[in-house]
Chains A and B, each alone.
Chain A
Amino acid sequence: MRRIVSIATIAATLVFGIANLGAGHGTFAQNAQTKTAATEISIDNFSFGPTALTVAAGTEVTWTNRDDIPHTVVSTDDPKAFKSKVLDTNEKFSFTFTKPGTYSYFCSLHPKMTGKVIVQ
């Protein structure tokens, strides 16, 4: 029963998100607080996209490096919540977020590259 409820919540979230975008809330997208069930983060042109991703607890998030240069995905928490090996072009890293919270991370090779995952 709980599972059904959580799926419904995600669906509602999606509808809410799309409705919001449709209503012309441009800043919604600009804030990159994309509140969808998307679990993919692309590393492209020395940046994480989306920069901030909101997911439900239990979601597996996968980063894919699309650059010609290797990158990493490293939590800024102490101790680190997650830390990838170096990702060469087209390599992926996945992590399942089980606990709600805000997880900031960066590329330890290019520390100007930062992002966060918000788990609800």
Chain B
Amino acid sequence: MSETKIITKQNEMLHDHNRDGVNRRGFLKCMAWAGTGAFWVIKGGVLKSYSLSRLSEIGPAESAGELSFVQISDSHMGFNKAANTDVAGTLQIAVDKINNLSATPEFILHTGDISHLSKPEEFDAVGQILKGAKPQDVFYVPGEHDVLNDDGKQFLERYGKNSHGAGWYSFEKKGVHFIGLVNVLDLKAGGLGTLGHEQLEWLENDVKHLKHSTPIVVFAHIPLWTVYPQWGWGTEDSAQALAYLKKFGSVTVLNGHIHQTMQKVEGNITFHTAASTAFPQPAPGAADSPGPMKVPAEQLRSVLGITDVNYVQGHHALAVVDSTLA
């Protein structure tokens, strides 16, 4: 029994919309649905996650571990419509939350849609705000909003110095192998996100030499599992990518794009999507289209109450997955 995995929620989609109990007065200050991210701790080889919107529950005991990092996503700098007219403000709230953690995370992962329209000043603004975060290292992957008009050339110039192809890369931190993938380029009519042959080949080679006990964290913008194909929430060739990761005891896949937290466990692989720091989107199929959800302050609680259907395991916003890596 060297490999024991206790997975309580097999193949089940878990929804959480950060039940925060925010009142109207506290809404602008907290913007709990917006200024959120996920705090991750690796302890004894096990990856655990906590929502930044429930900061008070992340004490010294929770944040102690070999490695901790934060995931933020979909900051959409430049967006200024009704759903959120101050995306810089809500990103700043996320940074404040990161800075208030009892232990400083090692680094930040940004899972894409940094900008809204790929404008240089939008990328600059995000960079400026994130400079105020205690963790100085930020690892990015592009969202479709970051590669507009130039097939990702600007993104590569800004963030892709040590990357391959269209911007994919991997790195090691304290024994954990992190892989950043790009699935927002060269999308085909009627299709989903795409990784492409070249990237898949790179991935196969990248993980070939790793021990099976190496914890793997994959991050990409569009979900690498099929959340809702009708809205394009999935990746065409993700099955091939995941096949290369089957041999590993622990694989965690972190995505953004859908502006809400979800989790799914499938064998050795745990999938998570992060909330947006900018604006929420409807649950799959809950609206005619995946457009921004306008949530007036006075309705916030009721909206969250309605969608808060499968609250996960006590007080953690994302389920804790117990899996040993031995």
On whether the two chains bind one another, the answer is yes
State whether the Cβ of A47 lies closer than 8 Å to any Cβ in chain B. Answer: yes
Q: Which of B28-36, B56-64, B185-193, B208-216 contacts A (4 or more CB under 8 A)?
A: B185-193
Q: Which residue of B lies closest to A89 (CB)?
A: B81
CA distance A46 to B117 in the complex (A): 17
The verdict on A86 contacting B149 (CB below 8 Å), with A76-B189, A111-B188 known, is yes
Instruction: Output the residue of A47, A76, A86, A111 with the most chain B CB within 10 A.
Output: A111
Q: Which residue of A lies closest to B184 (CB)?
A: A109
State whether the Cβ of B290 lies closer than 8 Å to any Cβ in chain A. Answer: yes
State whether the Cβ of A106 lies closer than 8 Å to any Cβ in chain B. Answer: yes
Residues of chain B contacted by A85 (CB below 8 angstroms): 148-149
Q: Contact between B292 and A69 (Cβ–Cβ < 8 Å)?
A: yes
- Give the interface size class of chain A: 20 to 34
- Give the interface size class of chain B: 20 to 34
CA distance A109 to B116 in the complex (A): 12
CA distance A68 to B280 in the complex (A): 13
Residues of chain B contacted by A67 (CB below 8 angstroms): 289, 291
Q: Contact between A46 and B81 (Cβ–Cβ < 8 Å)?
A: no
CB distance from B291 to the nearest CB of A (A): 6
CB distance from A79 to the nearest CB of B (A): 15
State whether the Cβ of A110 lies closer than 8 Å to any Cβ in chain B. Answer: yes
Q: Which residue of A lies closest to B118 (CB)?
A: A86
CA distance A112 to B191 in the complex (A): 6
State whether the Cβ of A114 lies closer than 8 Å to any Cβ in chain B. Answer: yes
Q: Contact between B144 and A109 (Cβ–Cβ < 8 Å)?
A: yes
CA distance A104 to B24 in the complex (A): 47
Which A81-116 residues have C-beta < 8 A from chain B? Answer: 85-86, 88-89, 104-106, 108-112, 114
Contact with B along A19-59 (1 / 0, CB 8 A): 00000000000000000000000000111000000000000
Residues of chain A contacted by B82 (CB below 8 angstroms): 68
The verdict on A70 contacting B116 (CB below 8 Å), with A47-B289, A112-B190, A114-B189 known, is yes
Residues of chain A contacted by B189 (CB below 8 angstroms): 76, 104-106, 111, 114
Contact with A along B134-159 (1 / 0, CB 8 A): 00000000001100110000000000
Residues of chain B contacted by A105 (CB below 8 angstroms): 189
Residues of chain A contacted by B118 (CB below 8 angstroms): 86
Q: Contact between A46 and B230 (Cβ–Cβ < 8 Å)?
A: no
Partner of A109, one of B81, B145, B190, B291: B145
Residues of chain B contacted by A76 (CB below 8 angstroms): 189
Residues of chain B contacted by A89 (CB below 8 angstroms): 81
Residues of chain B contacted by A69 (CB below 8 angstroms): 291-292
CB distance from A85 to the nearest CB of B (A): 5
Q: Which residue of B lies closest to A76 (CB)?
A: B189
Which 3 pairs of residues, A with B, have the shortest CB-CB distance? A106-B189, A46-B289, A68-B81
